[in-house]
Structure 1
Amino acid sequence: MTKIAILGAAGQIAQLVEPMLLKKNDINMVLYLRHPNKLKQINDAREKVIKGDASNFNELKEALADVDLVYANLAGSNIEDQAKTVVKAMNANGIKRLIWVSSLGIYDEVPGKFGEWNKNILGSYLTIYRAAADQITASNLDYTIIRPAWLTNKNEINYEKTVGATTPFRGTEVSRLSVADYIADLIENPTKDVKANVGLDKAGTDGDKPAWY
């Protein structure tokens, strides 16, 4: 039985990943988050809910005991501190595999007018999320950093990957369900895209900004 920790388990993408994993009989989950009341129905036999802050080392270290893989769906102005704590807590527990969700544009990899628009909208957000990603890539963990395009709630799984921090990003949008599907695939196949920095978008959505914005 594989034990997965989901950090920031109330996030929209995380709550799409969880039911995907429940369809797999060999996966149990630790759902780690600050506000457990935001979670929907819990499978008590397969999911353990732990209230905690990802920037608190002692709390996180205890929560990650006996975990095989960590999927971090974290956010906030202290995201760099959270990244440092995640690396430290994983190392303390001897856990190697990390899936880390970040943002497009943190490496200035989005070309053209869309890249300019993205910078103007996200601003300093890109700087702090880049700093967090740097903590991950500087670690000894077997990480995958995911940089999704602008997210939609479309009921579709349709995405393409751009691998590499300096590879020009393609497309302007991608569904949350697509990102969740990719994350679930990595969890089921943990040797896939190790030490990789992956952009996700829906093919054919190139433009100056997302069509719906």
Structure 2
Amino acid sequence: MKTVLILGAAGQISSYLVSELLKETDFKLKLFARNATKRINVTDPSRETVIDGDFNDTQTLTIAMKGVDAVYLNEMRDLPSVKKIVSAMDDNGVKQFIGATVLGIEDEVKGAFGNWNTSMIESSITRRKKTAAVIKDSDLDYTILRLAWLFNDDKNTAYEITDSGQPFGGTEVSRQAVAKLITAILKDETGKYARQSLGVNEPNTNFDKPSFY
């Protein structure tokens, strides 16, 4: 039985991911977040373990990695934290890493939408290029998810992916769709997602900016 450590488990994507994994798999889940016991509602205590912690707390992070098969990081924002996570994974022999980040870190967003996206999150793109480089330079079996602009819609779980070197495919995607993709990656046993950086968007959303802006 696979055990997945979800870092940033109180985040919105993580919340949808936990629900999806409980429904679609028999995986054990470790839910790691600041003030986790106050922020996370456990629905299956036999499969969910809540861990209060900070990504920069090396001791707690290392303990959380014990017996883990895969790690999902809900936000690849902070460079020191990402370095500590990689180190803790290495120390515990954990290989599979999935990390959510922003679109634009590979200069892959073109045209009017690319210009709009850069104007909105240029500083975020610059920071996350650095965290993505740490992951790519590691020996982890990573999957980096470059996410389109996010919204919530339980009835909209459609997504498409683009590879590195391809133009980004659309402007938006639901968090529920992202959770379904992460679940598919965690369930996959072929290794086809390993060492991949994937753009993630809803099909047929090739707009100049997201529809909700």
Q: How far did 1:62 drift?
A: 0.9
| Counterpart position of 2:208 | 208
**Distance between the aligned counterparts of 1:74 and 1:199, measured in 2?**
15
**Distance between the aligned counterparts of 2:139 and 2:63, measured in 1?**
20
**Distance between the aligned counterparts of 1:152 and 1:134, measured in 2?**
27
User: Which secondary structure state, in structure 2, belongs to the residue aligned with residue 171 of structure 1?
Assistant: coil
**Distance between the aligned counterparts of 1:182 and 1:203, measured in 2?**
14
Which AA in structure 1 matches 2:207? G
TM-score, normalised relative to structure 1:
0.94
**1:142 is the counterpart of 2:133:** no
Q: How far did 1:169 drift?
A: 0.5
Residue segments in structure 1 that go unaligned for 5+ positions in a row: none
Q: Does the 8 A contact of 2:42 with 2:48 survive in 1? A: no
| Counterpart position of 2:130 | 131
**1:56 is the counterpart of 2:67:** no
Q: How far did 1:135 drift?
A: 0.4
Q: How far did 1:53 drift?
A: 0.8
User: Which secondary structure state, in structure 2, belongs to the residue aligned with residue 102 of structure 1?
Assistant: strand
**1:159 is the counterpart of 2:164:** no
Which segment is superposed worse, 15-24 or 142-151? 15-24
**Cα distance per residue 1:90-148 (max 9 Å; x no partner):** 00000110011111011211001111111111121111111111100000000000011
Q: How many residues align?
A: 210
**Distance between the aligned counterparts of 2:197 and 2:25, measured in 1?**
29
Q: Identity of counterpart residues, as a percentage?
A: 40
| Counterpart position of 1:17 | 17
TM-score, normalised relative to structure 2:
0.94
User: Which secondary structure state, in structure 2, belongs to the residue aligned with residue 179 of structure 1?
Assistant: helix
Residue segments in structure 2 that go unaligned for 5+ positions in a row: none
Q: Does the 8 A contact of 1:20 with 1:184 survive in 2? A: yes
Q: 1:118 to 1:136 in 2, by over 3 A?
A: same
User: Which secondary structure state, in structure 2, belongs to the residue aligned with residue 50 of structure 1?
Assistant: strand
Which segment is superposed worse, 181-190 or 6-15? 181-190
The alignment yields a C-alpha RMSD, in angstroms, of 1.3
User: Which secondary structure state, in structure 2, belongs to the residue aligned with residue 180 of structure 1?
Assistant: helix
Q: Does the 8 A contact of 2:76 with 2:132 survive in 1? A: no
Q: Does the 8 A contact of 1:57 with 1:88 survive in 2? A: no
Q: How far did 1:75 drift?
A: 5.4
**1:119 is the counterpart of 2:118:** yes
| Counterpart position of 1:5 | 5
After TM superposition, the runs of 4+ consecutive aligned structure 1 residues lying more than 4 A away are: none
Q: How far did 1:203 drift?
A: 1.4
Alignment of 1:50-199 (within 5 A): 50-74=51-75, 76=77, 79-155=78-154, 156-164=156-164, 166-190=165-189, 191-199=191-199
Q: 1:75 to 1:135 in 2, by over 3 A?
A: closer
